[in-house]
Amino acid sequence: MTYIPKPRIDLPTDRINAIGLRQRDYEGVLSTLCAGCGHDSITAAIVQAFWELAIEPHQVAKLSGIGCSSKTPAYFISGAHGFNSVHGRMPSVATGALAGNRDLTCIAVSGDGDSLSIGFGQFGHVVRRNLNMLYIIENNGVYGLTKGQFSASADPGSKAKKGQVNQMQAIDPVATAIALGGSFAARGFSGDRDQLVPLIKAGVRHRGCAVIDVVSPCVTFNDHEGSTKSYAYTRKMSHKAVEADLVPPAEEITVSYADGDAVRVRLHDGSTVLLRKNDPAYDPTDRSTALQYLEKHRARGEVVTGLMFLDETLPEMHDVFGTTSAPLAETGYEALVPGKEALAKLQKKMR
Amino acid sequence: MPDQPSASATQSRINDFVLKIGTVNGTGSASANGLLMKALFRMGVPVTGKNLFPSNIQGLPTWYEIRANRDGYMAREGRVDVMVAMNAQTYGKDLAEVTPGGFFIYDSTWPREKTLSRDDVTVLGVPLAKLCNEHFSVARVRILMKNIAYVGVLCALLDIDRAIVKQLLEETFAAKPKLVDSNLEAINLGWDYAQANFTCPLPVRAEAMGDNSKHILIDGNSAAALGCVFAGATVGAWYPITPSTSLMDGFQGYCEKFRKDPDTGENRFCIVQAEDELAAAGMVLGANWVGARAFTPTSGPGISLMSEFIGFAYYAEIPSVFFDVQRVGPSTGMPTRTQQCDVLLCAYASHGDTRHPLLLPADPRECFEFAVAAFDLADRLQTPVFVLSDLDIGMNDWMIPELEWDDRYRPDRGKLVGPKELADMEKFFRYLDRDGDGIAARTLPGQDAKGAYFVRGSGHNRYGGYTEDSAEYQDVVDRLMVKWRTAAGLVPAAKLRPADQPTRVGIIAYGSSDGAVNEALDRLNEEGLGLDYLRIRAFPFGEEVRAFLDSHDTVFVVEQNRDAQLRSLLLVELGASNEQLVPLLHYNGMPIPSRCVEDAVRAHLDEEVAA
Ligand SMILES: Cc1ncc(C[n+]2csc(CCOP(=O)(O)OP(=O)(O)O)c2C)c(N)n1
Ligand code: SF4
Ligand SMILES: [Mg+2]
């Protein structure tokens, strides 16, 4: 199997990116989450990814629902407008925001409670709509903010802190997104930033709804022995299926791969996602094999990670609607109002 | 000759009658009824049509009530002069409803039950099905043409101009001339039969009068949709619900017509059919947050679902426009019947201390005007604004003066600061009231990092930061009350119709009750009972409402709900007294008739005198 060495990411924090910004320019206010909470590591990965992508902070719209996870947009990109919405309903706000201004780079953070219980409907529909956004689910198997109740992503057999064992089936957001016709579905682990940062970058650049489920242990309520969302369990049972790298348009891909080892997917902005597979039989561009693969490994108790499915050809919401390329919010009133004469003419038919 | 009408049985009513047609829904009667209504309109007769329909797609009874009135009264009156009973199921009920001296027309193809007769009503049988079956060969055509044939019968009986009917058919079927011919054949079938068998016209009839060319026929939902287009709304989010659906259908239609980029054919609008009303509300907030004017049309059940987001928009101060086309509640209630039952729901929608401006249009013209006003107010006040119409206004065709537009209009986007203004500021704080009107300036995403802030429904201080500090929290919600008082001076003022003589008796109404109240007041006035009438057009109430209450001892409050909801608002918000405000309520789901108002006022005042 061919292998390209990962870029070293221990960049000095005062280095500037392509638009002259430092990593700290992508940070937000100080986190108030528990020390060691997985969500904070994801925040750090987001900061790094956006810095590397050199996106203008004011071009970013960051949204969330309600939960510990949903607090995190306050902790990154303080130069971006943020919208901490109501529980489970961030996807609709994102839909409206992008309906009004399609030029915004939209990143949304949600939790497993936020997206898989109260917001399961909105999650499903934003995937179906293929809204051009990055949708991160910080998945800890519990409701952190309301003190540790099981969430819908808790695995059967997983044990709560106080000992009860979950007996209901788990909802897997990755499999769900693929099954719902999603265009981008990935899973990461908050404890593996090397893997997560490229996933986030690919998700931002993907044109459509990029869902990234990130296993993100709740150190306070769900990091004990017997939990399937703990650091220890995830490390042990993690199965990396595909590594993804985002190659910007300018950079040629020079390394060659043996057939079956890598898949390249060209994104709309000209960059390429390079999918390096650990299992040659796996095809992340085929919906049904992706689902089969997930199911096979789930049955073994494994946590499959990587960019599990990608289809760059699906139309995003505005393609379907035929909306103008200029953001509606920036369209001048003169181009919107029919005027007095048109009204008079229209009313001739109402007699 | 069967059932020959006798002219002496009734007094003559020219351009002053109610025609009611009972059919089965799904049989295509809507076009026949529309044809009648438009023909009367073109004859210059003031006319309105009320569609009384079931919540069902096919097979249930449905009625259409046309009122022609030379004085321009638009409300339901409470009488039926001519009934066309096309639905065998409802013959009995329909016959019972005819006002003494009136006429009852039915399809005599099948024998009529003996019990269905009244001495004080002239019954006219026309074998419509037989006529159509003999004349047309295709089954579906026969059913449709039966409806058109009764138009022919009515043209003869009511003296409706057949030339106008022909012209209307030609306009409607300009693209399919063959249909004009078959429709005209059906009209003539009915016309010829009536001429041959009855004395035409009846004493109840139409006559060409005035000039309606400065008026239009339009329903409130279409008018509101036009208002949204003219206000510059670009994003619409919705979940289908009667009776609001045609508002978004209208918006879509007008956008297709007026909002296509002439060069690319691309849409300068974005309509999202949401997964539910919770999502529709979220979409409206998201779009308004980024600076696009966005709205959602819905009805009571939708408002219930949207409530959490409505409170969010109130507290986080996001402009948003909600159209509630009210229908009968509670719960699913009667979805195709009308009420004004969401006044309290909308006024205080959502948990916590919340309050929202309501605009209360009385007719489609105000639906148009208030739609535009709603967007301006929402942007100016940075808050959810409700336009509360109802099924009667929203879905029925009203005759109104032509809509007008001033090309100098520019949207009031309120206090928006962009990169230019930000450059002059040391720092931007989202919730800082610099002008004392309770309204802080906002910025839009995508413009400038200096203006970035975090919208949240959780506790925040005047700078936009998260807070759990009591004083900081209270500071913000107290400012929201300052803003509320600003709103009272910005919303459409109530309209006063003073009595001829000074009086201490007043009447308050709003929305679709206006027509019934005006007509009732004319009648009462003829009897020497003069009342001052104040039509409330918005909440919060302006000073003029308080002044009206202060200057009247007895004030009737006319509403189409059981619980006297606006009266409650007057009691709570203005401290009116219980004894002063007399509830005058009509809530059976049918639009309020003028007679109901007239009778109730008379009865109450008589009682007062007697007491
Ligand atoms: C309508 C509503 N119901 C309930 C709550 C209470 N609540 C707050 S956060 C939360 C669960 C959050 O779980 P999750 O999305 O998994 O976030 P985490 O805290 O685990 O990151 C609940 C039930 C709420 N805020 N709103
Ligand atoms: S409760 Fe759990 S999810 Fe919430 S901040 Fe603490 S560790 Fe994180
Ligand atoms: Mg959780």
φ and ψ of B569, to 5 deg: -60, -40
* Tokens matching residue B458: 């959780």
Ligand 1 atom with the smallest distance to the CA of A216 is 21
Residue B442 CA to ligand 1 centre (angstroms) = 28
Task: Tell me what pLDDT residue B2 has.
Answer: 40
What would the mean pLDDT of B230-237 be, rounded to a whole number? 98
Average model confidence (pLDDT) across chain B: 95
What would the mean pLDDT of B73-81 be, rounded to a whole number? 92
Task: Tell me what pLDDT residue B569 has.
Answer: 98
Task: Tell me what pLDDT residue A263 has.
Answer: 87
- Classified as helix, coil or strand, A125 is helix
- Classified as helix, coil or strand, A200 is helix
Residue B375 lies in a domain: yes
Task: Tell me what pLDDT residue A260 has.
Answer: 62
In total, the C-beta contacts within 8 angstroms joining chain A to chain B are 233
Looking at the structure, tell me whether residues B374 and B436 fall in a common domain. no
* Tokens matching residue B242: 């009667």
Looking at the structure, tell me whether residues B484 and B518 fall in a common domain. no
Q: Which residue, chain included where needed, has tokens 């009266």?
A: B567
Residue of A220, A222, A223, A230 to mutate, ligand 2, most atoms within 8 A of C-beta:
A220
- For residue B407, give how far its alpha carbon lies from the nearest alpha carbon of chain A (Å): 6
Average model confidence (pLDDT) across chain A: 93
What would the mean pLDDT of B5-21 be, rounded to a whole number? 75
Looking at the structure, tell me whether residues B127 and B206 fall in a common domain. yes
| Beta pairing, strands B215-219 & B397-401 | antiparallel
pLDDT band at B29 (very low <50, low <70, confident <90, very high): confident
- B533-547 in b/e burial notation, b at 16+ Cβ within 10 A? bbbbbbbbbbeebbe
What would the mean pLDDT of B374-382 be, rounded to a whole number? 98
* Domain spanning A23-330: CATH 3.50.50.60: no
pTM of the model: 0.96
- For residue A309, give how far its alpha carbon lies from the nearest alpha carbon of chain B (Å): 25
Task: Tell me what pLDDT residue B112 has.
Answer: 76
Is any atom of ligand 1 closer than 6 Å to the C-beta of A28? no
What would the mean pLDDT of B83-103 be, rounded to a whole number? 94
pLDDT band at A257 (very low <50, low <70, confident <90, very high): low
Q: What digits encode the pLDDT tens for the residues B280-316?
A: 999 999 999 999 999 999 999 999 999 999 999 999 9
Is any atom of ligand 2 closer than 6 Å to the C-beta of A71? no
Residue B361 lies in a domain: yes
Q: What digits encode the pLDDT tens for the residues A163-197?
A: 999 999 999 999 999 999 999 999 999 999 999 99
Q: What digits encode the pLDDT tens for the residues A35-84?
A: 999 999 999 999 999 999 999 999 999 999 999 999 999 999 999 999 99
Give, as one character, the DSSP assignment of residue A147. Answer: T
What would the mean pLDDT of B245-261 be, rounded to a whole number? 98
Does the ipTM exceed 0.90?
Answer: yes
- Classified as helix, coil or strand, A294 is helix
Give the whole-angstrom CA distance, residue B243 versus residue B51: 12
Give the whole-angstrom CA distance, residue B359 versus residue B71: 28
Give the whole-angstrom CA distance, residue B470 versus residue B459: 9
Looking at the structure, tell me whether residues B89 and B177 fall in a common domain. yes
Q: How far apart are the first and last CA of chain B?
A: 57
Residue A125 with chain B: CB contacts under 8 Å:
274-275, 279
Range of the domain at B433: 419-488
Looking at the structure, tell me whether residues B178 and B251 fall in a common domain. no
Task: Tell me what pLDDT residue B374 has.
Answer: 99
Give the whole-angstrom CA distance, residue B165 versus residue B154: 11
Looking at the structure, tell me whether residues B162 and B19 fall in a common domain. yes
Residue B48, domain CATH? 3.40.920.10
pLDDT band at B140 (very low <50, low <70, confident <90, very high): confident
Looking at the structure, tell me whether residues B250 and B361 fall in a common domain. yes
Give the whole-angstrom CA distance, residue A338 versus residue A346: 10
Nearest residue to A342 (alpha-carbon basis) of B229, B294, B38 = B229
Looking at the structure, tell me whether residues B111 and B145 fall in a common domain. yes
Task: Tell me what pLDDT residue B11 has.
Answer: 67
Q: To which H or E segment does residue A247 belong?
A: strand A238-247
pLDDT band at A327 (very low <50, low <70, confident <90, very high): very high
Task: Tell me what pLDDT residue B165 has.
Answer: 97
Residue B408 lies in a domain: no
| Higher pLDDT pick, A10 / B590 | B590
**HSE toward the beta carbon, residue B275, CA cutoff 13 A:** 18
**In the beta sheet, which residues pair with residue A98?**
none
Residue B274 to residue A81, Cβ atoms within 8 A: no
Is any atom of ligand 1 closer than 6 Å to the C-beta of A87? yes
Q: What digits encode the pLDDT tens for the residues A211-238?
A: 999 999 999 999 999 999 999 999 999 9
Least confident of A250-254, B269-273, B304-308: A250-254
Beta strands in B53-121 (DSSP E): 61-69, 82-85, 103-107
Is any atom of ligand 2 closer than 6 Å to the C-beta of A140? yes
Residue B301 CA to ligand 3 centre (angstroms) = 31
| Higher pLDDT pick, B102 / B77 | B102
Looking at the structure, tell me whether residues B201 and B222 fall in a common domain. no
Q: In this structure, which ligand is nearest to the CA of A140?
A: 3
Residue B125 lies in a domain: yes
| Higher pLDDT pick, B49 / B114 | B49
Of B212, B239, B265, the last residue of a domain is B212
φ and ψ of A265, to 5 deg: -125, 120
Looking at the structure, tell me whether residues B364 and B248 fall in a common domain. yes
Residue A275 CA to ligand 1 centre (angstroms) = 34
What would the mean pLDDT of B312-328 be, rounded to a whole number? 98
Count of domains forming chain B: 4
Residue B237 to residue A99, Cβ atoms within 8 A: yes
Over pLDDT 90: what percentage of chain B?
A: 91
Task: Tell me what pLDDT residue B504 has.
Answer: 97
Task: Tell me what pLDDT residue B7 has.
Answer: 41
Which burial class, exposed, middle or buried, applies to B272 when counting CB atoms under 10 A from its CB (0-12, 13-18, 19+)?
A: buried
Residue A146 CA to ligand 3 centre (angstroms) = 9
Residue of A118, A136, A145, A220 to mutate, ligand 1, most atoms within 8 A of C-beta:
A145
- B172 touches A: beta carbon within 8 Å: no
Give the whole-angstrom CA distance, residue A159 versus residue A230: 11
φ and ψ of B138, to 5 deg: -85, 135
- For residue A83, give how far its alpha carbon lies from the nearest alpha carbon of chain B (Å): 5
- For residue A29, give how far its alpha carbon lies from the nearest alpha carbon of chain B (Å): 10
pLDDT band at B511 (very low <50, low <70, confident <90, very high): very high
Looking at the structure, tell me whether residues B166 and B305 fall in a common domain. no
Is any atom of ligand 2 closer than 6 Å to the C-beta of A216? no
Give the whole-angstrom CA distance, residue B326 versus residue B295: 16
Sorted by sequence, the CB contacts under 8 Å of residue A106 that are 6+ apart come out as A60, A61, A62, A63, A94, A97, A98, A131, A132, A133, A134
Is any atom of ligand 1 closer than 6 Å to the C-beta of A141? no
Q: To which H or E segment does residue B557 belong?
A: strand B554-559
Task: Tell me what pLDDT residue B9 has.
Answer: 43
Residue B409 lies in a domain: no
pLDDT at A9 over 60: no
Q: What digits encode the pLDDT tens for the residues B482-509?
A: 999 999 999 999 999 999 999 999 999 9
* Tokens matching residue A258: 């043996």
**Given A93, A323, A333, which is nearest B410 (Cβ)?**
A333
- B256 touches A: beta carbon within 8 Å: no
Looking at the structure, tell me whether residues B455 and B356 fall in a common domain. no
Residue B241 lies in a domain: yes
Q: What digits encode the pLDDT tens for the residues B148-175?
A: 999 999 999 999 999 999 999 999 999 9
* C-alpha triplet B206, B207, B212: angle, nearest 5°: 100
Which burial class, exposed, middle or buried, applies to B502 when counting CB atoms under 10 A from its CB (0-12, 13-18, 19+)?
A: exposed
Q: How many CB atoms lie within 10 A of CB A177?
A: 28
pLDDT band at A10 (very low <50, low <70, confident <90, very high): low
Over pLDDT 70: what percentage of chain A?
A: 94
* C-alpha triplet A27, A32, A34: angle, nearest 5°: 115
